[in-house]
Structure 1
Amino acid sequence: MDLKITAASPEQPAILLDLPWDVPLEEWPTEHLVALPRGISRHVVRFTRVGGQVYALKEVGEHAAWREYELLRDLARLDVPAVEPVAIVTGRRDAQGEELEPVLITKHLRASMPYRAMFETTMRPGTISRLLDALAVLLVRLHLVGFAWGDCSLSNTLFRRDAGAFAAYLVDAETGTLRPQLSDGQRDYDIEIARVNIAGELLDLDAGGFLHPSIDAIRLGEEIVDRYCSLWKELTRPSVYPSAERHRIDARIRRLNDLGFDVAELQIERSPGGDKVTILPKVVDAGHHTRQLLRLTGLDVEENQARRLLNDLETYMAAQDDYDPEDPLSASQEVVAHRWLREVFRPTVRQVPRPLRNRMEPAQIFHEILEHRWYLSEQREQDVTLVAAAEDYVRAVLAFIPDPDAELDPEQDGDPHHRPEDEHTTGRRRGEEEDG
């Protein structure tokens, strides 16, 4: 059998052909290798640089190689954080004609490190906490799409900073299975494997003198389970509220947003006691909100603004008698969205006196009024109308924001964009300022 490179991209085979495929990976000459930290593995794993890109190479049986290759491609289509599969090399033979195991090639994730390597260094408690949160989020995302990992560990998980946050990526999918949906038992078994593997690797690091004395290996393994269970419950439990209690719905959505997940669907349940709103969380792709809001309303805004406006739009839709997503004869999303634009968004923005409107764009004004209403509702433990929230926002917040087109008073010291703030001022969040 001749050497064969099967690649996801047509340009890959040519740049990979010059590598010494007739030599076992563990014997490759150093000029072909890149020294990068890696976790422990039952297979031989090496890194190489070709054409400016670093690749991870793993020798593995042909059936396992093809299986993992396809699983990684499936995870990529499902937008789950995992390494990118590049190619499989089969038909390898050494100089004596003896068969060599196939090699699975994946792209090395830039600026990433295995979780195991992270724990070999001294970390602050806050860093450890964020690492565990990121790993719990990865496990939840995998389970939401029906993927049971079967071998989650510190060695086959990569850590990388992601826009100021921590993100975890799957490296090894060899033992994974992808189903339409996982049962509670399948999820529990997967998490138990993660707990045992993580605690075991930490104990191994401790035995080698690499683990900081303050880290409790057993407790960290248990913490992963605790964080996973809390996140899974928060993401998947249906929250049913009376449709009139909008501030409770807003609070639920905000908790999900803070966890890095988004509400893409609200459903209405009819009951003898009146309309109930059920929130069904759903993970969505980047830019989803901007595209959806533009499609429904014609408003072209930044992603974080779009997310907040869509949250309000979804809540508004759920309260409309003529809208039922399960009834094809009810008003369409687009019809109700334009009603929201006409009856909610535009009147709210117009409540702001003309001289103050140029202090920020309309979408940001509406967003901040929604934030202000949420704060007032939480403070008073009852719903505050949008009209009342807008009036209070203009008086208590917007009036103190300097006109961006006005010249700075030469006698004024400090930041020209500074405004008096008290504990309830709801100006732009730092993340939204950075995102645009």
Structure 2
Amino acid sequence: MAARGAAGRRRVEKWLGPVVAMALLVPMGLVVWRADADRWCWDVPPEVAALADDPAAATAYLDPGPVSGESTGAVAALLAPGHWVTCDGPAGPDLLGAILVAATTGQTLAEQDGPAVPHTPAMASVAHETVVVLAAEPEAQRPPFVPGGGARSAIPPGLEPYLGLMLAAYLTDLSHRTQLAELGDVLLEEHPVRTLPDPETGEARVLFATAGELVTETDPDSGEALEYWTDPLRDLTTAVASHPEGYAVLYDAHLAYAARCLDLLTVDEDGKLTSGTRAAALPNPTDPFAEITGGVAGLSVLRDALAEEGVISDGAAFDAAVREHSRGVHLATAEPPGEPSVLAGDLARRAPAGPAGDAAFLDGRAQLLMMLEDWAGGRGLPEQEWVPLRAALASSYHWSHRFAFWS
């Protein structure tokens, strides 16, 4: 890759002359400039390209550290706009995406279908930093782009499916956003941590507040104090879901998670839903289906909002592309599993029970009701027991749809 890039630069200099064809050295490699300001590319250093196939090295290279106020800036540097077009090898979004997936999941793209590995604090910290960097408002960029790009960037088209894989690997963080009260004094520190250990599996979870974070800034012109809420996880999820393949990855993950939640449910002698493998009751006893419906309903709200705003210009074509990229439908197991705790990455990698099928596949409510009916049949529940559960799930979906966190 490096040799061909160097040869390309020599050809450019021969054709255009040294004045209009030059290469600027930046920390992440060479950005080659051409006579036309729009014709530029990143000459990827071999050691950076190799990170896509070396998860441990990718994590170490991008690790911003456990404290949010002490970032190395490596993630922002990698995702700089000057790196979106490569001179040789994989396209910029494909290379960047492969590196991010490796760094945040501990596995290469080729290993994503196998069993997940536990998230280390470093892996989770990279995921957290990626969300924050990509969700930030992009700085104004005028050609020619500044090599290395600054701390903020937009999302290059084509990166969304890879970001979907990253978010799906941290599915519990999408479904269980951290309540502020759970953290106690840690959020009172000047620089709060990026990650917390999962109470069940011990692996690192990405730390994002339930309702985003209140940011206070001073207007440089007036000196007036400005306050606003920022929610990078919501913003990045919105960007990923605007791409049909990214949407498919997230939709599959939330359906798989819903099936996992059903796995753990049993009906006691009083006809009440309880966890079949844990001593404690469900997290939300007033609505035992909230856990199941939240993610699927939220994506439905998001898809409708993106269509209304014109981000999704052709809903039918978008839905067809989602079905094409989806792994398929999910169903619960016939018996509660013996081990209730599963690594976050494995939740999203659950094997589908069948193909995506027709247009009804993207009706989240219908999918969950079908899943519940199949679960009830597998558990041998009589009709008088599972029909009320169907009504309860439909009601829960309605409320989840109404109060989706990004609406």
Query: Do the structures match in fold with TM over 0.5?
Result: no
**Structure whose residues are more often helix by fraction:** 2
**Structure whose residues are more often strand by fraction:** 1
Which structure would you say has the larger RCO, counting Cα contacts within 8 Å and 6 or more residues apart?
2
TM-score (norm 1): 0.30
TM-score (norm 2): 0.32
